[in-house]
C-alpha cells in the first residue's frame, strides 16, 4: 500500500478551490534535475490548476533519484523521494511516470521498465527518442501503454500536439524552425555585432544556455534530432537524425552577418523539412533569412517553428525552447493529457514510428533548390570576375548580384567579394563553389550559405 499524504502544498494555498476534484491520479517522476524540479513545483505548488484542467489531482507519489542526499531547489513532501526505482515500478496505484533523465542510458532501460510495469510514459528526452523512438513506441503499443513527448522538441512550444492533432486536416508542405536556443543566442549576438563566434559561445555558456559540452548544439546535431521527430509527425518520415544533412555555425564570421544584413537578411540556423517533387528535403544549416519575416526576428535563446499546411496556410509558433519552467510546462501538460486519457487515444491512432505506417520518400539532398550567398576572399586584381562567372555559368548558375567590400580590404590586398545567385540546386552550388575555391586568386576561408525561400521563412 503506497503511503498517502495529508496534503500536497497547493492544498494549503488559501486561493485554491477546495471543491475541485477529489479523484486522484498517482504519478511519479524519475530524475530531479532542473526540469524535474520545475515539474515537481508545478504539481505541488499549482496542483489546483492542474487538477482543474485534468478533472483529478495529479498526486506526486514517488520521485526517484540517484542520490537522495543531494540538495535540490524544491521541497518534496516527506516520503516521496527515493533512490529505489522498484518502489515506483511496483506501486500499482501509479499510472504514469515522467522520465526526466537525460542521455541514452540508463534512460532507455528505465523507460522500458516503466512501460513494462504497466505505466504510461511522459518524457522530455529528445536524444532517447531520436535514437530509440521506434523500439520504445513499438514496445509501448505492444503493452497497451502510451508515450508523450511534447517537451522533447522546442521545450515550451506546443509543437508536437499541434502537428499530431490540431493541424491534421492538412497536408503539411513545409516545417522550418529555429530549434536550438544556444545557437540562436550565438547568431543573434553575432548579428548585433556584439562578438564573434568564440566569445558569443562563452557568453551563452555563462548565461546557462549552452551545455558544458555544446558540441551537439553547435554542429546542428541537436536541431537534427528535433527535426527528425517533427518530420515524422508532419510527413511520416522515417529518418534517423544522423542521416539528415547538417552543418553547424562554427564557421560563421561576423562579416557574413554584416554582408547578409546589407542584402536584407539575417543568418539563422534553420532546420528545414520541405515537400518537393522528388520527395522530402531535410536539412539543418545556417541560412540567410529575409529580414522582417517571422523567423528572422526570433532573437536570443528563443525557438520558433513555421508550419505551412495546404488548408491552414502558414502557422507560426514562438517561445522558449529550453529552461526549467518552459520545459516543465510541456511535461505537465503531457501528464494531464495522459491522466485524462487523451494521449492514449492519439498514440494508438497515430501509430508513430510503426513499421506498418506508410513512409515518405526522402529526396536526394543535392536536388534541393535555393538561392545562394557566396563570400569569397579574393586578391583585388583584374580579370577576377570572368573566371568566377565562367565556372558558375558552366553549372547553370545565374548571378543575381555581386558586391566587393572595399572597406574590408586586408593589408595584403585581399577583399571580400559577395555573390548572390538566383535559384539553383545544392549540387551545382556546391560544385561551382569548390571549383571557384581552386582559383589561385581565391583565398581561404570562403563561405557558402543557402537562402531560405520566402515560402519557408
Ligand atoms: N541545448 C538545447 C538548446 C536545448 O540550446 O536549445 C535542449 O535540446
Q: Where exactly does CATH 3.30.70.260 map onto the chain?
A: 369-451
What spacing in Å lies between the alpha carbon of 376 and ligand 1's midpoint? 32
Indicate if ligand 1 lies below 6 Å from the C-beta of 180. yes
| Centre of ligand 1 from the C-alpha of residue 323, in Å | 9
Ligand 1 centre distance from Cα of residue 103 (Å): 13
* Cα distance between residue 316 and residue 306, in whole Å: 5
CATH 3.40.50.720 in the chain, residues?
7-152
Rounded to an integer, what distance in angstroms lies between the CA atom of residue 99 and that of residue 403?
Answer: 53
pLDDT of residue 21: 61
Looking at residue 2, its pLDDT comes to 39
- Residue with the nearest Cα to atom 4 of ligand 1? 322
Question: Are the beta carbons of 220 and 248 closer than 8 angstroms?
Answer: yes
The domain made up of 7-152 has a fold known as Rossmann fold (3.40.50)
DSSP per position, 392-440: HHHTTPPEEEEEE-GGG--TTSEEEEEEEE-SEEHHHHHHHHHHHHTST
Give yes or no for residue 156 CB within 6 A of ligand 1. no
| SS3 of the chain: helix, strand, coil, percent, to 5 | 40, 25, 35
Nearest atom in ligand 1 to the alpha carbon of residue 185 is 5
Angle of CA points 79, 81, 86, to nearest 5°: 100
Q: Is 416 a pocket residue for ligand 1 (Cβ < 6 Å)? A: no
Q: For residue 410, give the C-alpha cell.
A: 586586408
Chain CA centroid to CA 171, Å:
21
Residue 71 a catalytic site member? no
Q: What is the Å distance from ligand 1's center to 181 Cα? A: 6
- Residues 253/219, Cβ–Cβ less than 8 Å: no
Distance between Cα 42 and ligand 1 center (Å)? 21
pLDDT digits (tens, 9 = 90+) for 194-224: 999 999 999 999 998 877 789 999 999 999 9
CATH class of 159-318: alpha beta
Do the Cβ atoms of 205 and 187 come closer than 8 Å?
Answer: no
Q: How far is CA 186 from the centre of its chain?
A: 16
Q: Give the Cα-Cα-Cα angle 92, 143, 47 (nearest 5 degrees).
A: 45
Ligand 1 centre to CA of 153 (Å) is 9
- Say if CB 111 and CB 140 are below 8 A apart: no
CA 202 vs. chain centroid, Å, equals 21
Residue 217 Cβ < 6 Å to ligand 1 = yes
Contacts with 328 (C-beta within 8 Å, 6 or more apart), sequence order: 35, 38, 39, 41, 42, 151
pLDDT of res. 356: 77
Distance, CA of 331 to chain centre: 15
Mutate to test the pocket of ligand 1, among 150, 160, 182, 229 (most ligand atoms within 8 A of CB): 182
> Could you give the CA distance from residue 101 to residue 114 in angstroms, rounded to a whole number?
13
* Intervals of CATH 3.30.360.10 along the chain: 159-318
389 CA to middle of ligand 1, Å?
A: 41
Question: Residue 321: CB within 6 Å of ligand 1?
Answer: yes
pLDDT of residue 4: 40
Active-site residue among 113, 226, 268, 450?
A: 226
Q: Which residue's entry shows cell 498517502?
A: 4
CB of 5 within 8 A of CB of 79? Answer: yes
Report residues of the chain scoring pLDDT below 50. 1-6, 14-15, 18
CA–CA gap between residue 373 and residue 189 (Å, rounded): 21
Please name the residue whose Cα sits nearest to atom 8 of ligand 1: 222
CATH 3.40.50.2000 fits 369-451, yes or no: no
- Atom 7 of ligand 1: nearest residue by CA position: 322
Confidence (pLDDT) at 212: 74
- Tell whether ligand 1 has an atom less than 6 A from the beta carbon of residue 256: no
Measured over all CA atoms, what is the biggest interatomic distance in the chain, rounded to whole angstroms?
87
120 lines ligand 1 (CB under 6 A): no
Give the nearest ligand 1 atom to 216 CA: 1
Backbone angles phi, psi at 118, to 5 degrees: 85, 20
Distance (Å, whole) CA 104 – CA 244: 20
Question: Read out DSSP for 25-80?
Answer: EEEEEE--SHHHHHHHHHHHHSHHHHHHHHTSEEEEEEEE-S-TTS--SS-PPTT-
329: cell is: 510546462
Prediction pTM value: 0.94
Amino acid at each position: 500500500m503506497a503511503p498517502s499524504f495529508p496534503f500536497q502544498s497547493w492544498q494549503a494555498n488559501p486561493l485554491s478551490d477546495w471543491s475541485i476534484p477529489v479523484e486522484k491520479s498517482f504519478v511519479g517522476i524519475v530524475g530531479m534535475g532542473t526540469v524535474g524540479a520545475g515539474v515537481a513545483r508545478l504539481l505541488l505548488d499549482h496542483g489546483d490548476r492542474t487538477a482543474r484542467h485534468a478533472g483529478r489531482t495529479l498526486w506526486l507519489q514517488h520521485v526517484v533519484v540517484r542520490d537522495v542526499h543531494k540538495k535540490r531547489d524544491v521541497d518534496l513532501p516527506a516520503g516521496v523521494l527515493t533512490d529505489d526505482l522498484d518502489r515506483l515500478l511496483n506501486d500499482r496505484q501509479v499510472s504514469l511516470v515522467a522520465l526526466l533523465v537525460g542521455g541514452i542510458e540508463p534512460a532507455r532501460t528505465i523507460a522500458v521498465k516503466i512501460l513494462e510495469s504497466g505505466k504510461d510514459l511522459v518524457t522530455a528526452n529528445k536524444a532517447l527518442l531520436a535514437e530509440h523512438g521506434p523500439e520504445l513506441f513499438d514496445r509501448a503499443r505492444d503493452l497497451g501503454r502510451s508515450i508523450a513527448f511534447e517537451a522533447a522538441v522546442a521545450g515550451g512550444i506546443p509543437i508536437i500536439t499541434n502537428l499530431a492533432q490540431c493541424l491534421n486536416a492538412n497536408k503539411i508542405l513545409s516545417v522550418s524552425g529555429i530549434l536550438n536556443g544556444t545557437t540562436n543566442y550565438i547568431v543573434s549576438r553575432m548579428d548585433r555585432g556584439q562578438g564573434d563566434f568564440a566569445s558569443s559561445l562563452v557568453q551563452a555558456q555563462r548565461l546557462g544556455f549552452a551545455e558544458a559540452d555544446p558540441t551537439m548544439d553547435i554542429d546542428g546535431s541537436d536541431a537534427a534530432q528535433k527535426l527528425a521527430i517533427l518530420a515524422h509527425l508532419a510527413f511520416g518520415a522515417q529518418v534517423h537524425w544522423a542521416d539528415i544533412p547538417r552543418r553547424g555555425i562554427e564557421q560563421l564570421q561576423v562579416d557574413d552577418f554584416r554582408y547578409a544584413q546589407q542584402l536584407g537578411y539575417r543568418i539563422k540556423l534553420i532546420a528545414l523539412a520541405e515537400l518537393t517533387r522528388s520527395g522530402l528535403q531535410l536539412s539543418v544549416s545556417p541560412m540567410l533569412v529575409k529580414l522582417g519575416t517571422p523567423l528572422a526576428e526570433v532573437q536570443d535563446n528563443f525557438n520558433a517553428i513555421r508550419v505551412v499546411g495546404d488548408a491552414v496556410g502558414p502557422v507560426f509558433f514562438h517561445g522558449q525552447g529550453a529552461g526549467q519552467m518552459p520545459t516543465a510546462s510541456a511535461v505537465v501538460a503531457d501528464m494531464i493529457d495522459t491522466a485524462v486519457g487523451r494521449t492514449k487515444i492519439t498514440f494508438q491512432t497515430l501509430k508513430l514510428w510503426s513499421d506498418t505506417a506508410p513512409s515518405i520518400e526522402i529526396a536526394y539532398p543535392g536536388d534541393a533548390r535555393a538561392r545562394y550567398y557566396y563570400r569569397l576572399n579574393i586578391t583585388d586584381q583584374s580579370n577576377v570576375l570572368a573566371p568566377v562567372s565562367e565556372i558558375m555559368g558552366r553549372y547553370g548558375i545565374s548571378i543575381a548580384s555581386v558586391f566587393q567590400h572595399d572597406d574590408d580590404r586586408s593589408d595584403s590586398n585581399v577583399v571580400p567579394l559577395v555573390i548572390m545567385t538566383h535559384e539553383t540546386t545544392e549540387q551545382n552550388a556546391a560544385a561551382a563553389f569548390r571549383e571557384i575555391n581552386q582559383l589561385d586568386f581565391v583565398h581561404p576561408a570562403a563561405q557558402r550559405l543557402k537562402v531560405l525561400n520566402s515560402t519557408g521563412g
